[in-house]
Each structure stands twice: as C-alpha cells, then as structure tokens.
Amino acid sequence: MKRLLPSTLLAFTLGLSASLLAQTAAAGNWDALQPDRDQVIASLNVVELLKRHHYSKPPLNDARSEKIYESYLKLLDPTRSYFIAADIAEFDRWRNQFDDLLKSGDLQPGFTIYKRHLTRLEERLHFTLGLLEKGVDSFDFGRDESLLIDRENAPWAKDKAALDDLWRKRLKDEVLRMKIAGKQPKAIQELLIKRYNNQLSRLEQTRSEDIFQTYINAFAQTYDPHTNYLSPDNAENFDINMSLSLEGIGAVLQSDNEHVKVVRLVPAGPAEKSKQLAPADKIVGVAQANGEMVDVIGWRLDEVVKLIRGPKGSVVRLEVIPASNAPNDETSKVVAITREAVKLEEQAAKKSILELPHEGRTYKLGVIEIPAFYLDFKAFRSGDPDYKSTTRDVKRLLSELKAEKVDGVVIDLRNNGGGSLQEATELTGLFIDEGPTVLVRNNDGRVDVLADENGGTYYTGPLAVLVNRLSASASEIFAGAMQDYHRALIIGGQTFGKGTVQTIQPLNHGELKLTLAKFYRVSGQSTQHQGVIPDISYPDEVDTKEIGESALPEAMPWDSIRPAIRPEADPFKPLLSELKARHDRRTAQDPDFVFTRNRLDLSRQLMQETTVSLNEGKRRAQHDSIESKQLAIENERRKAKGEELLTELKEEDENALPVENGKNKKPEDDAYLAETGRILLDYLGLSEALAKH
C-alpha cells in the first residue's frame, strides 16, 4: 500500500504515560521493564524489512551502529540535561555494537540506556521539586549569571553537582520567563509544582512498550525521518500517525524537544479558518471546552494528539506560544477551536479575478487557488459521473476564466500540502500537450513513468504558479513539471522538499512505515530535500531552518536521474534577469515585502543567541528591546500604508501575516498574489517586445 505523504512524519520521542499513578508507587524500580518475546521478534522483522525494502538499502554495520547510538541519545536527552559523563562513558562500549545486537535480537542495551534515563529523569524531577518547595522568591534575580540554551552539542555534565547547577538555572529561567509574562509568584509556583509532579507521576507509568518504541525508532530513523515504528496502540490510529492530520482541528504537528510544534494547518480545517494558529507555534496546554487547562510540556506527541481530538462540534482550548515571539519569550495565548471534519467541498479549488494597472491599461488575471489535491475516491470508484476532483474543478474554472477573457492565469499553491498523486498528474495534463509528468524510482532501481496520455492542451495562455515553503508533495510535482516544461513561471518561496513515498508493513507486533520510493521531476531532478526553487523568489514567511524537509534529521539527499524529456528552448530564461530587476525595484519599498523581510531577519538574529541572561534587569531590558523592534517593524508597515500607528503590539498584530493567503477579501490586497500578477504582466510585455524584434 503506497501513499503519498503531504507533510513531515510523526516523530515519536521519549514520552511519559498520560495516566497518573498513585503516590504509593515504587519510584525508581525499573527492573520489571524487560523486552518480551513479541518485541524481540518485531525487532528482527524490522531489521529484515529495512535490509530488503528500504529505498536506500544502507548496510547495517558499525557506521550505522554509531548513528543509532547518537540518534538514541538525542531522542532521550536532546538537551544533554539528564545523563552525566560517567553514563556516557559506560554506554560507549556499545557504540559500535548496535548493528550486531539488533541482528541477534538482543534488546538489553537499549533497555539499559533507557532505564538509566528514567533514573536520571526521576532524580532531576525530585531535585527541581525540592527547589520549588523553597519558593520561587528564593531565587536571586539580581545575580549576573546566564544559561546556555543551545545545548545540542554541549558537553555532558561531569557529575550530579553540575546537573544540579544546570537545573537550578533552568528552573530560574522558567520562573523569570513567567514573571516577565506577568504571572504572580504564587501562580508560578503552583503551575511548576503541578507540572513536575505530573511528569513524575507519568514517569512512573512507563511501560516496556515505551522503551521498545523509542529504541526501534532511534534505529529506523537513521535511515530517513519518514521511516518509523508504530506500536500496536499507535498502529490503531494509523491515519493520524501517517498524515499527522488531527481529526477535529486540522493541524499538522511534530515533537520539538519538550514541546509540540505546529508544522502546518490543513486547508479549510478549523484551525486554518480560525486564523489563531500559525506554523511553528508551540502548544503548551490543552483544555476541553471550559475545563481545566492541562499543561502538556514534556508530553509525548501521541498523548497530546489524544487530548486535542474529540467529538465533532465540541470545543478544545489550546495554550500556545506564538512563533512570532522571541526565542526566549514564553508569553502564551489561549485559542478556542471548534472541532469539525474537513469537508471536501471546503478544500475545493476556487477562482477570483485580479485586476492590475500595467503600462497604461488595466489587465484582468484569473487566480485559481488550490488548497489540496483532492479526489472523491468513493464516488470515483462507484462510477459516479459527477465525482469531485481537483482537475475537474480547475478545468471548469479555467473555462469560466476564458469566458471572462482574462489576460493570464495564476495557480496559487501556497500552503497546499499535497494529496492525490493522480490529480497532480492529471492537472499537469491541462497545461501541456502530452508527456511524462513525474518519475517514481523504486528501491530496486526501476523507474516508473507517470504520464499525461491525453493529447491537447486545455489552457495555452500565460501562466504563473505561486508556491511557498508549505507547498509540498503533489504541489511540488505539479510545480516542478510546469517549470521543466517551461510552461509557467514559478514564483514564491522554496517548497517543502518531501519527495519520498512510504508504505506500511504489518509486523507481528505493531507496524513499520518505511520509505520505498522517491519522486523525480521529468528533468530528472528529485523534489526531495531541495523542493522546487522558484524562478523568482519572495521573502520566506516561515524560517526554512525550522520548517521543511531539510529541517528534519537524516533527511534523504537531493539527487538526479536520467531525464524523461529532452530540454527545449526556455522562453523565460532570456527575460529572467529583467523580470527579477523589475520585481526587486517594485518590492524594495513595498510595505508588506519589507515587513516580512524585516520580521524574519529579526527572528533569525534572535535564534542565533545561544545563551540567555538570568538577571531580571537585563532580561527585562532585552524583552523590551525586542518588543520595541517588533513594534517598529509593524509601524513601518502601517505608516507606509497610511494606517493608524500602534503604541503597543497585541497578539493579533504580532501573528498577522499581511501577505498570508486568504487573509484579505480582495485579491489585490494580497501583496504576494498581486506581485505575482505584475511579474506575469511584465513577462507578457517583454516577450511581446522580444517577438517584434
């Protein structure tokens, strides 16, 4: 069973059971956690399946063993805050043995390392709770000290005393963030005591299945980030695990150390329609309707999923830290979203008319927004002549636009996470005569060619395709084909870069999702990792280091194979430098383009900071400075547009993307869409002038 995945994988990390344990439980007694026979057999099956069927078929040897070891340590202790140097020295004896251990079904070292982690985590939680008992006011916030926050490559703590100092600083940092966010000392203390007590209680509910799942995933994900093991419980929720689409709110999530992060919003889903969530937002709390907010920091992703899901029509409240905050700003907001299923008709392609003045006259451009590549499989298979699909809808919209005598068409694929591969192929066929549309290279080296075999081109007029970082999978296949056939100008941001195909293999115990094929454009270039590079680029709306295939560990590389078509003369190439020059001149002072560039520049500057001050005076000054810069960026945009200036930023101002797709009623108000139209009109004028010469 092959499925095209539109987004990143569900990256299960070390987590703790959501159930609370009675306080009489025997803490620290992990000896009973042992691998069982079913887990041993499943591990041997995983080894064999990866050896025979994974796309890359890399050898399971000492080099792979080192990767497994490093991957496991990173899953268990990504910030190097639990293990001490002596633990690592002890574990190092297995560094080059995990290949042999897995081949023989010996899971003990994996269990030993995990159980040591449980011991260290329990020690840290007790230590932190001990500090909290003294009161949060016991911290000296006038002391000039700092905390290293980028700890991915930090040295392991030499002993428990070093860990004590690190965790004292971590707790001080948490308290300071909440103080600056306006919380009172009593409320801070109550929240943190409850958080750490809950983590301690959940820790004591750890099962051997938690260990097995984490260990086997540390192994599987050294092959690529979309290959992972699903435990029997998680296999029951296969569709959620595979698509990351949460039934109820329509959000794509992944683990990000102790947080759960929004990757993208499902088009026409409740979260997207609410306009309250954005990519890279962190979810720190979940509540049902008017119920108590449950702190989910440190929870496993699948546990947070269970809290967010619920009956259609019910309300879930999420406490989130907006991505627009500075990296060290934990100021949160609460959003309420009514759960509902994403309806096919709400994801349907729709059209609008973009009217733009250009060189003395007003032009009309047709805009077709495609939120997803959809196909009503049930109606299609039953022979319903009126089945709904992307291609059929776009064909109808093109017919209507031609009747309105538009001067060109823009296909808007922003935030389109993909969907049906068949639809990507058929949609390509509307704009080319006939020929290959995408190549699929299998794990045996065989290349299957998907093609449009229907002669004739439905729309032959000027065409531009607008994409961004959240355009993925099928979107990349269509945009890549339009670029390779020189059929359209590709404009916008570098796309997501997911160019692999996964399949699900049932095991005796759980399931294995593994990568068995890779997509290639008709030019022979992979869409993997690199995505589609636009002919003319716009400023990124999200940080590409945070969101996208290249942001995932062990992402498979970009490469190329033999092309399926012969390169023809590119009509855009001679004009690209002039098109870019005109675009640059127009957008150098465009308020929305300047705003997006400045905001991302500030975010990237702040992300480069590796330490944070624990002195309250310095921290507040830094916080005020960042807010001042954010306010200045917003007011610069408002001033240029003749809008009222702000004296302070509100949440809606911080999160608003003025160029975001669908935010404005008139297409001319969407800065990125309007500029795409102007570029297309520039091309029309330049190509006509060139033809006359």
Catalytic residues: 473, 484, 498
Q: Say how many Å lie between the first and final Cα of the chain, rounded.
A: 55
For residues 295 and 626, give the distance between their C-alpha atoms in angstroms, rounded to a whole number.
27
Residues 6 or more apart whose Cβ sits within 8 Å of residue 322: 278, 281, 331, 333, 651, 654, 655
Strand partners, 253: 262
What letter represents residue 677's amino acid? G
**Is residue 433 a contact partner of residue 457, using CB atoms and an 8 Å limit?**
yes
Burial class (CB in 10 A: 0-12, 13-18, 19+), 629: middle
**Residue 619 DSSP code:** H
What is the rounded CA–CA span in Å between residue 545 and residue 552? 9
**How far is it, in rounded angstroms, from Cα 180 to Cα 505?**
50
Beta carbons of 641 and 591 less than 8 angstroms apart: yes
Report the SS3 class of residue 506: strand
Residues facing residue 520 across a β-bridge = 439, 526
- Are 480 and 451 in contact by the 8 Å Cβ rule? The answer is no
In order, the DSSP letters of 370-397 are: ---B-B-HHHHHTT-TT--BHHHHHHHH
Handedness of CA 248, 250, 252, 253 (dihedral sign): negative
Query: What type of residue is 156?
Result: W
Cα dihedral 321, 324, 326, 329, rounded to 10, equals -20
Going from the C-alpha of 287 to that of each of 281, 283, 668, the distances in angstroms are: 17, 11, 39
Partner residues linked to 147 by β-bridges: 612
Phi/psi region, residue 244 (left: phi>0; alpha: psi -120 to 50; beta: rest), is left
Name the strand (E) or helix (H) holding 271.
helix 270-274
DSSP per residue over 53-117, as a string? H-SS----SHHHHHHHHHHHHHHH-TTS-S-BHHHHHHHGGGTTTHHHHHHHT--HHHHHHHHHH
Radius of gyration for the chain, computed over Cα atoms and rounded to the nearest angstrom? 27
